Structure 1
Amino acid sequence: MRVELPDLAAMDAFGARLAVHLRAGDVIALSGGLGAGKTTLARAIIAALGHQGEVPSPTFTILETYDALDPPLVHADFYRLDSPAEAEELGLDDYRYGAALIAEWPENAGGFAHEPGCLSITLETAGNGRVAIVEPGADWLGRLS
């Protein structure tokens, strides 16, 4: 599926559409180059889940948790990881228990596409906007229409 995101309002609306269908155990894996909009989309999803206030980029902290959301959420940015083993060292599985995960740079953590609850989204620049190329895992089939 290809989703045109010509402006910030479209990105926010797409994030809200994803948030409605997000369940504990799901992964939204966000790929794309620097400046493609991964953090912007993550912020839109987190805001749509009801978080009020700042949503810091986890580029330096690697993991930010939002336990009060429904579902609870972990926002991770794996850009600085050198190997998937580092994600294990962070205790990622413990953070993920009972929560959904938004993963920026998922390939640096070994990827999540093999998980049935993974929604892989590649963001690309298109003019002044973005395009999202969406590949749903088995558990996402039928949720997005």
Structure 2
Amino acid sequence: MIEQFYAEGNQAMEALGAAIGNVMEGRGVIYLQGDLGAGKTTLSRGLIRGRGHQGAVKSPTFTLVEPYELDSGCIYHFDLYRLLDPEELEFLGVRDYFNPESLCLVEWPDKGKGVLPSADLTITISPKGVGRQLHILGHGSHGLAACQRLHNKREDAHT
């Protein structure tokens, strides 16, 4: 199942991120794809804040991962842009982050190919007009169910 959204401005991106975090129910793996500056971190910020984080949400470009331990569960935000070899993830103990009770957001997932688990959602962000076009593809039962909930939420908003 593929859902498409158009978001104009950071506020719209953050609101969509919060909605995605809600339909994912605080668990799973989300791959975020798009060029530099596409809005991956902005979407992540909305998702993380939507799950209850009150502080700053920064890009983990230099730290590789930023953990957020929330009342609603743990979120791990990865940015693999600077990763030279997927095997580096093994040395960092990346598999410990990907567990059934956590939600993992992965920017630049292609850099971790062969080491990362499969995604429940793949979100591709690209510029369109003055905003951004998002293609959200669900994988497996959890991702497909999340896509369906996102679809239903949009339908409910239009009725």
Given the two structures, how large is their TM-score scaled by the length of structure 1?
A: 0.90
User: Does the CA-based 8 Å contact 1:31-1:38 persist in structure 2?
Assistant: yes
Paired residue total: 144
Cα distance per residue 1:48-106 (max 9 Å; x no partner): 00100111210000011012242211000000111211112211111223311000001
Kindly indicate whether residue 110 of structure 2 is the aligned counterpart of residue 103 of structure 1.
Answer: no
Structure 2: where are the runs of 5+ without partners?
152-159
Q: Secondary structure at the match of 2:67?
A: strand
Cα root mean square deviation, aligned: 1.9
How much does 1:112 deviate? 8.5
Q: Secondary structure at the match of 1:18?
A: helix
- Say which of 29, 40, 58 aligns to 2:31: 29
Q: Which has the higher helix share?
A: 2
Answer whether contact 1:26 1:118 (CA < 8 A) is retained.
Answer: yes
In the alignment, what sits opposite 2:155? Answer: none
Question: Compared with structure 1, are the counterparts of its residues 14 and 100 closer, same or farther at alpha carbon in structure 2 (3 Å cutoff)?
Answer: same
**Pair 129,112 (structure 1): closer, same or farther in 2 beyond 3 Å:** farther
Farther-moved stretch of structure 1 (32-41 vs 21-30): 21-30
What secondary structure, in the 3-state scheme, does the structure 1 residue paired with 2:35 have?
coil
Match of 1:135 in 2: 137
**Structure 1 residues without counterparts, runs of 5 or longer:** none
The 5 A counterparts of 1:1-145 are 1-23=3-25, 25-97=27-99, 98-110=101-113, 115=118, 118-138=120-140, 139-143=142-146, 144-145=150-151
- The Cα shift of 1:28 comes to 1.1
The whole-number CA distance in structure 2 between the counterparts of 1:45 and 1:25 is 12
The whole-number CA distance in structure 2 between the counterparts of 1:95 and 1:12 is: 24
Q: Is the 8 A contact 2:27 2:103 kept in 1?
A: yes
Task: Give the direction of change, closer, same or farther, for the CA distance of 1:37–1:29 in structure 2 (3 Å limit).
Answer: same
- Matched residues in 2 for 1:56 and 1:78: separation? 14
Computing the radius of gyration over CA atoms, which structure comes out larger, 1 or 2? Answer: 2
- 8 Å Cα contact 2:85-2:111 kept in structure 1: yes
Once residues 100 and 4 of structure 1 are traced to their aligned partners in structure 2, the CA distance between those partners, rounded to angstroms, is 24
Per the TM alignment, residue 2 of structure 1 is displaced from its structure 2 partner at its CA by: 1.4
Q: Structure 1 84/25 Cα, relative in aligned 2: closer, same or farther at 3 Å?
A: farther
